[in-house]
Structure 1
Amino acid sequence: MKNYTAIGLLTLFILMNFSCAQNQQTKYSSPKGYDLNKPVKYKMPDDLLEISGITFSKGNADRFYAIQDEDGKLFYGKLGDTRVSHTKFGKHGDYEDVAIMGDKVIVLKSNGKLYTFPLAEIDEQELTHVQELVDLLPGGEYESMYADESAKKLYVLCKNCDDERTTKSSTGYVFNVQPSGVIEPAGNFKIEVKQITKLIKDNKIKFRPSAMALNPIDKNWYIVSAVNNLLVVADASFKVTAAYPLEHKNFLQPEGLAFDSKGNMYISNEGDEFSRGSVLKFNYSGAK
């Protein structure tokens, strides 16, 4: 009888410790004003299982705009709704990011092609005034784009470019966007990977940016890398100042990034056969 009691107590002790271990979740560090451990989660409809880019118009979060990386469709609606609207702008393809500049929507394809069309016409089932822009970017794979409406500039960051296979940096390209809608090259910039590896103390890290956005509050660049699940922060000159590992439990595959006018941060995640696509909102609480 005593042996059974001892075994029972031992089993109870093990179960209690296992339960405590399960409840003690790792707390991940966060940028100032945010808590990456406490997102507000919006599940996406089935059409956006593979959501790959998200943006707002003039920072207004009442309506989001998104694309997914298989169909040439722009999706739009209210976060939290079970259904969203869409319009078709292109053929089947690998579309990775979306931005809005004034009255124009700009979509980035993984091969570097850009597509622009009027925002006012998205209620149409299929768009007819779509312009395809080629040869603006060198050969490679692209997933990150941001439109700075106040400066009338477009930024595109390479994920894996042909001329970077032996380097340890990610090259970005800057374009001026004319009132007529014409997009013209205006320089480039680099994200140095060694600045990231130094911060996270991992020399083998691979930085493959999947989304970028300018924070309207602190004026820093926030860049997500789905490879290695990282959130990188860089200053106005693109010098990396911080890097934050992202918990896989919440960030299944972070592919999109946007801020609203209040500084709240939104990161979209592709789903899989077990989980739906999602958008995680991180409320801005003010710099501390």
Structure 2
Amino acid sequence: MNKWALGIIAVVLLIAAVVYGIYQKNDYDFNDATKSYEVVNTWELPEELNEISGLHWMGDGRIACIQDEDGIIFIYDLNSAKIIQKHKFALAGDYEAITYLNENYWVAKSSGELFRIESIKPKEKIEAGIRLELKYNNNIEGIAAAPDGKIWISFKDRNLKKEGDYRGLYAFDPKTNKLDPEPVAKVNYKDQKFDLLKTGNPRKLLRPSDIGFHPLTGELYILDAEFQKLIITNTSGKIKKLHLLDPEEFSQPEGITFSESGRIFISNENLGGPANIKEVKFH
């Protein structure tokens, strides 16, 4: 191998090392001293929900679940720890979030479609999706029925228009089937609450996997599956609390929902163990 080839290899390795260092250094390490929650119940899920990706509390111990391979809503009963009903609404695809608004269920497909489902019955009814106007591959991961009567959407990979020093959340109007291109809320990457993470890498600061509004406080809960944490903000996106989640307990937290009384449920895909739903109390 000649000197030029060796030199090129050396430069490539140096650049790779620098990039790796930028993205990896100063990461936080979870430990019990930072734990600010308690897991009070855990339900291991059947194989059909290995890829569970979204939750919605229905009442009476029932949770509507979706997973990111099939266009099916699964009704899971916490009391019997079983799937008690299924409703197929679309063909196979990457479905990431579910919510309920104005007597309709809404399901988000990562590629940029929303599905309105008028009723859940133990039968198949293929629905037509509503295609959102997305310029980039933004990757929908979370949706939540908001107090303003709209559906808020979180994107995992990038903002709608341009990147900046914030992660934007956006509002979809079910009356017009339009998505507002301007953020309805912004989570500022420079917020001091992020100092806990010991990194300036936006990818590690926040990549939402789901969102939800607490029924009693009205606060917005933003879940992050890749670097496990839960962020609580006001409706403008100002961070009020950042909870680190133990990767041993939350291997891949993909969905969040609340009971009417404020109980909090978080789902995990089957990464390193069975998929599950955990009931959590945050301090």
- Say if 1:216 and 1:138 are closer, same or farther in 2 by CA, change over 3 A: farther
CA contact (8 A) 1:28 1:37 kept: no
| Residue of structure 1 in register with 2:279 after alignment | 281
Is 1:193 the counterpart of 2:189? The answer is: yes
Name the aligned partner's letter for residue 237 of structure 1: S
| Residue of structure 2 in register with 1:21 after alignment | none
CA contact (8 A) 2:53 2:96 kept: yes
- Say if 1:236 and 1:166 are closer, same or farther in 2 by CA, change over 3 A: closer
Matches of residues 14-29 of structure 1 in structure 2 within 5 Å?
26-29=32-35
- Say if 1:42 and 1:113 are closer, same or farther in 2 by CA, change over 3 A: same
CA distance in 2, matches of 1:200, 1:242: 13
- Say if 1:38 and 1:163 are closer, same or farther in 2 by CA, change over 3 A: closer
Larger radius of gyration: 1
**What SS is found at the alignment partner of 1:161?**
coil
- Say if 1:83 and 1:225 are closer, same or farther in 2 by CA, change over 3 A: same
Unaligned runs of 5+ in 1: 1-24, 31-35
Unaligned runs of 5+ in 2: 1-30
Deviations along 1:41-63, one digit per CA (max 9) or x if unpaired, are 01111110110000124xx2521
- Say if 1:240 and 1:199 are closer, same or farther in 2 by CA, change over 3 A: farther
- Say if 1:163 and 1:220 are closer, same or farther in 2 by CA, change over 3 A: closer
**Mean CA deviation greater in 75-84 or 41-50:** 75-84
Is 1:264 the counterpart of 2:263? The answer is: yes
Deviations along 1:78-114, one digit per CA (max 9) or x if unpaired, are 1252334211111111110011113211110111211
Name the aligned partner's letter for residue 85 of structure 2: S
CA distance in 2, matches of 1:113, 1:104: 16
Matches of residues 69-218 of structure 1 in structure 2 within 5 Å?
69-79=68-78, 80-119=80-119, 122-128=120-126, 130-139=127-136, 140-148=138-146, 151-161=148-158, 166-178=163-175, 182-186=176-180, 187-188=182-183, 189-195=185-191, 196-204=193-201, 205-218=204-217
Name the aligned partner's letter for residue 41 of structure 1: T
| Residue of structure 1 in register with 2:23 after alignment | none
Give the Å deviation of 1:115: 0.9
CA distance in 2, matches of 1:151, 1:163: 21
Name the aligned partner's letter for residue 235 of structure 1: N
CA distance in 2, matches of 1:164, 1:256: 26
Report the TM-score when normalising by structure 1: 0.78
| Residue of structure 2 in register with 1:232 after alignment | 231
**What SS is found at the alignment partner of 1:175?**
strand
Name the aligned partner's letter for residue 108 of structure 1: A
CA contact (8 A) 2:132 2:179 kept: no
Q: How many residues align?
A: 246
CA distance in 2, matches of 1:172, 1:123: 32
CA contact (8 A) 1:199 1:242 kept: no
CA contact (8 A) 2:35 2:246 kept: no
Give the Å deviation of 1:158: 1.2
| Residue of structure 2 in register with 1:41 after alignment | 42
Give the Å deviation of 1:218: 2.0
Give the Å deviation of 1:136: 4.2
**What SS is found at the alignment partner of 1:203?**
coil
